[in-house]
Structure 1
Amino acid sequence: MTEETETRAQGVAGIRDVVSIRLPAASAYLSVLRTATAGLAARLDFTLDEIEDLRIAVDEACAMLLSEAVPGTDLTAEFELTGQEMQVRVEVATVGSSAPKRDDFAWMVLTALADDVDAVTDTADHMAIVLRKRRGAAQSTAGPA
């Protein structure tokens, strides 16, 4: 086995699996991200409910970011798949906006649908929302019925 083939084989085994998508920062393109989210979650064998939760969470995160986005710029999404978890980072260019309010309804929806949610504002002109969802996380924390 050559070194290149071995590296590819390790990638297939789940060492690092990342998909990046860049779209115009406009709500008309969010259906593309919802579809990509569902397809990637299905690849990790998420349940139908977990897939729908992720689709809604990504849509909500994007809606929050689009309200702050500079018109005519792009929204970027990075999906990282690791074992039983998917991390999604959506990011837009902004004009000096602050982090999303963590006490509004949209943020509560995000935290209810994803296992971990964070807002990242490393610079004054970019905002990102990062969310993580683990397969079976809700089932393991719910306990016996």
Structure 2
Amino acid sequence: METIKLQIPPNTIYLKSIRLLAASLASDIGFDIEEVEDIRVVVSEACNYKMSDEDIKIEFHVDDGFIQIRVSGKDREIEKENLKIQKLILEQLADKVEVVDDKIILTKEK
């Protein structure tokens, strides 16, 4: 398994790059186009949730047919209804969603 670690400022301008990286990694390790899109969306939603006043740390753990994305940072203050929607999106598109301390861990397997 290989790991890629990034840290970005809490600015939405960087989300496009993170989504592109996630999609590229997923495609390169064998996910189909629908799964690639799911991964792109979950990384974006997790980063949006952590978009507060502190840097966001993102780790991609990749292997053949497996990707785990860990997004850590300070939670953003959002309305409860929006939080429910984000959680539902993550749970529908990732195979496994865990929240540990300040980290959202998303797993997708082929």
TM-score norm. by structure 1 comes to 0.67
Residues 56-135 of structure 1: pairs in structure 2 closer than 5 A:
56-66=41-51, 69=52, 71=53, 73-93=54-74, 104-121=84-101, 127-135=102-110
For 2:23 and 2:75, the matched residues in 1 are separated by 27
- Which ranges of structure 2 fall in alignment gaps of 5 or more residues? none
Higher relative contact order (CA 8 A, sep 6+): 2
Runs of 4+ in 1 over 2 A off after TM superposition: none
Q: CA deviation at 1:43?
A: 1.3
Q: Identity over aligned residues, as a percent?
A: 29
Q: CA deviation at 1:94?
A: 5.6
Partner residue of 2:35?
A: 50
Q: CA deviation at 1:85?
A: 0.8
Paired letter, 2:61: E
Give the secondary structure class of the aligned counterpart of 1:104: helix
Q: CA deviation at 1:84?
A: 1.6
Figure out how many residues of one structure are paired with residues of the other and give that number.
107
Paired letter, 1:79: F
Pairwise CA RMSD:
2.1
Question: Cα deviations across residues 36-95 of structure 1 (Å, max 9, x unaligned)?
Answer: 1011101111000000000001111111111xx3x2x31111000123210000111469
For 2:46 and 2:6, the matched residues in 1 are separated by 15
TM-score norm. by structure 2 comes to 0.87
